[in-house]
Amino acid sequence: MNNNLNKKLLFQNFCIRSEQKLETYKEIASCYALNENAIAVLSDLKANTSHIFHGGFSEYLGLANKGTYNCINGIWENDIFSIIPEKDLEKKILDELQFFDFAKQKKKAEEYYMINQISMRKPDGTLAKVMHRIFYFNESEAIRFALCLYTPVCGSDICSSIIESSKGQQILLENINSGNILSEREKEILKLIDEGLLSKEIASTLNISIYTVSRHRQNILEKLRAKNSAHACKTAKQLKLI
């Protein structure tokens, strides 16, 4: 799953710009860890690295001591993912897929953030309810930085939503139209894949080359962050694309 998601996030048209913004966002992440006791993960999509700042919640979950920091290669915080139940991790990635598609259409992605609820395993094996927030930051036409925050859920359960922070307006993810994630041709091909047709049969049905079918299949996997065609069909149905 992560290999295909890497391509979607990392292979953007980044511009060359001062690294001062990186230091600014690292400071912001550090403050969240300090002031909210959050686990704050700042991912640099251009450099393919992540900067992780551990607050008190990280220590509570047995991940790292409060106040520690580490930088890892890659944009996936696998130590954190390892304590998220598979079903919750799948939901997290599905929600992020919708938000990324939403954010990349905005001139100022940082004016919005996504919030949802997941679970994490505590050292004793029981589950903690966790609020997950993600912010994207633009650089030219690309999204250069992603900031993920993990804190305990306080009070009522949280609905997966996009928040326009300056106005406090909430958009439920279930009301987001995800129809633009795939092109009409890609949807057409995915429907035929879901019906069990092979690439050769799809090419014949649509009167296109097998090469074109293969290219569309790869694009579908990348856009839906799917590890295979079956996973792509499942994700597309969850997003009501097919």
1-12 pLDDT, tens digit per residue, is 455 455 555 555
CB atoms within 10 A of CB 139: 18
Dihedral angle computed from the Cα positions of residues 213, 214, 215 and 216, in that order, rounded to the nearest 10 degrees: 50
Looking at residue 174, its pLDDT comes to: 86
Angle, CA of 180, 84 and 168, to the nearest 5°: 50
For tokens 């890609």, the residue is 186
What pLDDT is attached to residue 143? 85
Q: What is the reported pTM?
A: 0.80
Report residue 16's pLDDT band, with 50, 70 and 90 as the boundaries. very low
Q: Which of 74-78, 182-186, 204-208 has the lowest mean pLDDT?
A: 74-78
Alpha carbons 96 and 174: distance in angstroms, whole number = 13
CB of 236 within 8 A of CB of 242?
A: yes
Contacts 24+ apart (CB under 8 A), 7-10: 7/222, 8/100, 8/222, 8/223, 8/225, 9/45, 9/75, 9/100, 9/143, 9/146, 10/45, 10/46, 10/48, 10/75
Find how far residue 33's CA is from the centre of its chain. 20
Give me the percent of the chain exceeding a pLDDT of 70: 91
| DSSP one-letter code for 53 | E
How far apart are the C-alpha atoms of 157 and 12, rounded to whole Å?
Answer: 35
- Alpha-carbon span 240 to 224, nearest angstrom: 12
The closest of 39, 35, 74 to 149, measured between CA atoms, is 39
User: What is the pLDDT, as a whole number, of residue 7?
Assistant: 53
Q: Is the pLDDT of residue 231 over 50?
A: yes
pLDDT digits (tens, 9 = 90+) for 120-134: 999 999 999 999 999
- Report, as an integer, the average pLDDT of 197-203: 94
Give the residue-averaged pLDDT of 193-202.
94
